[in-house]
Structure 1
Amino acid sequence: MRPDLQRAIQTLVADLPKHRFAGLRPRERERELRFADLVEEGSKSVAIGPAAFQDIDIGEAYPVRCATRALWLAEREGVPFALLLDVDEGYHHVRARIEIAARPDAESRRVTARIGEELRAGAAEARCWRGKTLVLDPAREDFEISAAGLRVERAEPVRREEIVLAQKTFSLVERNTLGFVREAERLAQLGLSQKKGVLLYGPPGTGKTLIVRWLVGALEGYTKLIVSAGHYGLLAECLEMARALQPALVVLEDVDLVGGHRDGPWAASGGALNTLLNEMDGLTPEARVLFVLTTNRPEVLEPALAARPGRVDQAIEIGLPGETERLLLVRRYAGSLGVVDDLAARIARQAGRASPAFIKELMRRAAQAMLERGGGNALQWQDVEGALADMLGAGGKLGARMLGADHRVGFAA
């Protein structure tokens, strides 16, 4: 945990007023830096001068300014020592390594061993990251200014009332996530596992991501790690972070990208599925990790992932809303439009099995049609009917499915 290690070093040297600090720059950039390199000459020599820093955003008012390669000279309890820091950014990780050099006597070994333990403990506490929503980014090209490693994800919190879902379904989600977390410690006292996996599945646009965002805000005291399509190459590292930062919520979005049936056409390459299965199995029963997986295509998932308790313990369908929920959605997405009760009810009834995303876009396009005919802000059925025709157009059944509805959209269901 690089920012925590930096803070641990700063705490150490703050109590040593006579310490000296310098930056290090090897002539060969890709080399691993060690104390022995400081006496090299020529092309292998190390330049000593101003230090290079990276500002690491930890989601607080100010970033943590972290040295990349640096040397501290100090004295503690009468023992002079040197501390070397070397940071290397690989694709899969950011590795920070320290070396401590001192005289070869018993007192120096005791003091330097204690310093090493303090630095390791400070880094392992990971206070900079705990309780936050994190994404693990790979290393990027040289022209990128963003560093590899953990990044705090900032997103507007989602309130419970923003989720339009059948009460029975929502209760099932809540009972298997927040409810389970509330009772995790008492379950552990009974000798039961604190690890759980929940699969949310259903058509596109039905609110799976919204539910995840609500959970991220509602799970207080949990560190949340988000793994999406562009980050599955770092899956093993993300799950390692979850173990280190537990209690943790791990969100695996569109898990079918790596969890496809091993014998099917959607099987992922590169051993990603095996990594996922092994990492989920490798967590001890005492591990406080909640997995939430999402997919639009549950039928393609590997049975060893989706149909085995201990990996996925509860599958919950987030389906297309019923007429009651559609009416609530029409009201919500109408905004400040003038929609009389009869028209709202007709839209909800005639829209058929349409997703929240579809209804949101339907109301926007109906508003556009209203403005084009000069209707002020009073919506009429002809605006909605024209919007439906535009949205479906020649796409037919395929167009409906792409917009998060079944082929009966536009007809009472």
Structure 2
Amino acid sequence: MSDHFTRQFFTRLRTLPNAFLALLVLLVAAGIVNLLIGAPLNIYVMLAVSAIAALLLGLRFLDANFTQHRIRAYFHSADQWPILTRTYPLYKWVDLYRAAQVIVERYPACDTLLTEHNMPLKYLLQESFIESLRMPLKPPTMMPRKVSATEEIFLPTETVWLIRDEQNLPDGAIVRVHLISYNQMVQLEVACRDASAAAEIIDAILDHAAAHSIYRQQIISPMFQRQIKSSFRDDEGNVGFDLMFEPDPEVTDDKIILDENVRRVVERTVIDFHTRREELMQYGLPGRRGILFYGPPGTGKTYTCKYIAHKLDTATTIIATGHDLVQIRAVCDLAKMFQPSLVILEDVDLMFSERDLNPHTPILGDLLDELDGFQANDQIIFVLTTNAIERVEGAIKNRPGRISQCIYLGPPNSQLRREYLTVLLKPYNTQTVQLEKIVSETEGVSQAFLKEMIFRAVQISTERNVDGEGVVIQQNDLSTALHEMTTGGGRFGKRIIGFQVEP
């Protein structure tokens, strides 16, 4: 029996009208009655008709309720087809599923089966009637997946597409995307009589997934182990490697206060370089670049990174901190995959310190290998931060081919403090505040100190709130906040809060 005949037979059987199905039921019932009471009908003719009707109803039932029978109704000889299988981390699930949807829709005939069987495709194709009855065509579990920082969708744990094209794919093919429950990996399987045709389908799916990935031009951070999520609503069942979306920090030009020299260097070294990268590469410049922000805590290194991430909205930003730096090879692989990309590595002195004092020497070697391993046409920008540049391995900070420039971010001068305080005080009533007095009294403090001082002054001012008056900050509120923050902690206490930080 050919696949074409089988397919046509079951297609017609599947589309039989309800009235015809009712007739088949009546014929079966009539045959049973005739057999039991000996009605004056030709018993053999009646039994034959009833048997045929029962067979058709049975085939219709199997086709409608069991996965294996539905597949074999399309492709009777599918159990002899080669199956190409690819397995991927969980973060690629949405991309693979959406890409498969797009590719299968290119074929004139496509039937979608939503089911759930936690087993390889080869077992769904085997010719075993008893085993097939253990594979009911049942609705799959729908699992949540983020597709952006604010949007979540639900995906079926298993989808099977039966596709065919009488001219370009006459034998048809089976495409399957499913979540392997025990290890949270995603499997892409394609079965086809011609292995080369199956390979072409897989290549088409992967190409589309890579080109239209949900992570492109987003801000993401890798997750290498089970982690507690910050929102009660977020699913925490995922294990192993995954990617998390981070919200756009929305640090615009009017929200960041930088020394003009620093702003000019950041603009040229990072933002303009990214904007005109293709043009610059035509003149022989490599597409990769790296910078290192260093300076005392609280002086705006992380905030400047957020500013860069917001400005480079056509790049994929990858943020790695703390334990994530152990997996620096994986981070760099993501950068290559989603380029043009921006890689932000924070507090690199904790993992990439001088090799003589570094217990993580192999990881340091991984970073050096990765920085040296990029090609001239790779479009990747690295931004590193540290509070202790003297601890950072010299092969990183002193090598122009790896880090193009080290940029110092120190405590703000009087002009920057004036601008910073003006922005921080803008939402409040400050008519009696002597701004210049506060500017002069905060010589040497960090931006973080100024922000905390304003927060404390707001708290102090609300202690005397009058209904409907709003927040009215007085000069004494700021003086009290400054006094409280600079007394009682000693020299080390002042350093912790960013007062009189040392360059």
Q: TM-score, normalised by structure 1?
A: 0.84
1:131 matched to 2:221: no
Residues of 2 paired with 1:404 and 1:64: CA distance? 43
Residues of 2 paired with 1:222 and 1:192: CA distance? 19
Deviation at 1:198, TM superposition (A): 0.6
* 1:70-109 equivalences in 2 (<5 Å): 70-76=159-165, 77-88=169-180, 95-103=185-193, 108-109=194-195
Residues of 1 paired with 2:134 and 2:401: CA distance? 52
Residues of 1 paired with 2:157 and 2:121: CA distance? 13
Paired residue secondary structure (2:291): strand
Partner of 1:281: 372
Residues of 2 paired with 1:120 and 1:229: CA distance? 32
Residue ranges of structure 2 left out of the alignment (5+ in a row) = 1-91, 229-234
Residues of 1 paired with 2:227 and 2:182: CA distance? 11
Residues of 1 paired with 2:459 and 2:173: CA distance? 71
1:326 matched to 2:417: yes
Partner of 1:171: 264
Partner of 1:241: 334
Instruction: Give aligned pairs, total.
Output: 394
What are the superposed Cα offsets for residues 337-366 of structure 1, whole Å, 9 maximum, x if unpaired?
Answer: 444587210111111101111011112223
Residues of 2 paired with 1:200 and 1:405: CA distance? 20
* 1:122-161 equivalences in 2 (<5 Å): 122-140=208-226, 144-145=236-237, 149-161=242-254
Q: Identify which of 102, 119, 122 aligns with 1:11.
A: 102
Q: Would the alpha carbon gap of residues 47 and 238 (structure 1) be closer, same or farther in structure 2, given more than 3 Å must change?
A: farther
Residues of 2 paired with 1:5 and 1:78: CA distance? 25
What are the superposed Cα offsets for residues 178-216 of structure 1, whole Å, 9 maximum, x if unpaired?
Answer: 122233222211222111001111111111121111111
1:112 matched to 2:198: yes
Partner of 1:35: 122
User: Which protein shows a greater Rg?
Assistant: 2
Residues of 2 paired with 1:190 and 1:407: CA distance? 43
Q: Quick one: which amino acid aligns to residue 287 of structure 2?
A: Q
Q: Would the alpha carbon gap of residues 174 and 63 (structure 1) be closer, same or farther in structure 2, given more than 3 Å must change?
A: same
> Contact 2:315–2:340 at 8 Å: present in 1 too?
yes
Residues of 2 paired with 1:274 and 1:52: CA distance? 43
Paired residue secondary structure (1:118): helix
> Contact 1:58–1:151 at 8 Å: present in 2 too?
no
1:396 matched to 2:490: yes
> Contact 2:432–2:475 at 8 Å: present in 1 too?
no
Q: Identify which of 292, 313, 320 aligns with 1:220.
A: 313
Deviation at 1:373, TM superposition (A): 6.1
Residues of 1 paired with 2:248 and 2:276: CA distance? 27
Deviates more, 1:320-329 or 1:369-378: 369-378
> Contact 1:228–1:254 at 8 Å: present in 2 too?
yes
Q: Identify which of 139, 152, 165 aligns with 1:50.
A: 139
What are the superposed Cα offsets for residues 4-41 of structure 1, whole Å, 9 maximum, x if unpaired?
Answer: 211121123334544242434338xxxxx452586599
Deviation at 1:372, TM superposition (A): 3.9
Residues of 2 paired with 1:152 and 1:118: CA distance? 26
1:260 matched to 2:353: yes
Residues of 1 paired with 2:436 and 2:448: CA distance? 18
User: Identity over aligned residues, as a percent?
Assistant: 27
Q: Would the alpha carbon gap of residues 99 and 144 (structure 1) be closer, same or farther in structure 2, given more than 3 Å must change?
A: same
Structure ranking higher in helix proportion: 2
Paired residue secondary structure (2:489): helix
Residues of 1 paired with 2:97 and 2:378: CA distance? 28
Residues of 2 paired with 1:204 and 1:275: CA distance? 27
Residues of 1 paired with 2:181 and 2:361: CA distance? 22
Q: Would the alpha carbon gap of residues 341 and 171 (structure 1) be closer, same or farther in structure 2, given more than 3 Å must change?
A: farther
Q: TM-score, normalised by structure 2?
A: 0.70
CA RMSD of aligned residues (A): 3.2
What are the superposed Cα offsets for residues 109-150 of structure 1, whole Å, 9 maximum, x if unpaired?
Answer: 443232122112112214322111112223427982457522
